[in-house]
Amino acid sequence: MNWILLIIGGLFETGFAISLGKAQESSGKEFILWLISFAVCVSISMFLLYKAMGGEKPIPVGTAYAVWGAIGAVGTVVSGILIFKEPVTFWRLFFLSTLVISIVGLKFVSE
């Protein structure tokens, strides 16, 4: 269950990064709404990270933070490509894939 909480928390981390990016592109009421979205996403993300590090089978803090951050990073890069039309290059995708492999590796060695 803690791993599910951690994954969802990482997805909300992506949400707060996207919210910041969209806030930079907007103004007025839309800007305020994106900042509210940021605050909600960061709060949920941090709470889920906290919950994943506790309970019956806690995930060690170093592993939890690394996986949480990596999920957010991967999600943010993919979102940047899809939403913000950021460039897609071989090296960018190569290093993104090594990050994904590292996340999976941490999951397996943390049992």
User: pLDDT of 6-56, one tens digit each?
Assistant: 999 999 999 999 999 999 999 999 999 999 999 999 999 999 999 999 988
Orientation angle between helical segments 61-83 and 28-52, nearest 10 degrees: 150
- Which residue, 83, 106, 75, 101, is CA-closest to 9? 75
Structure tokens at 42: 């960061």
- pLDDT, greater one: 84 or 111: 84
What pLDDT score does 107 carry?
80
What DSSP character marks residue 11? H
User: pLDDT of 51-100, one tens digit each?
Assistant: 999 988 999 999 999 999 999 999 999 999 999 999 999 999 999 999 99
What pLDDT score does 31 carry?
97
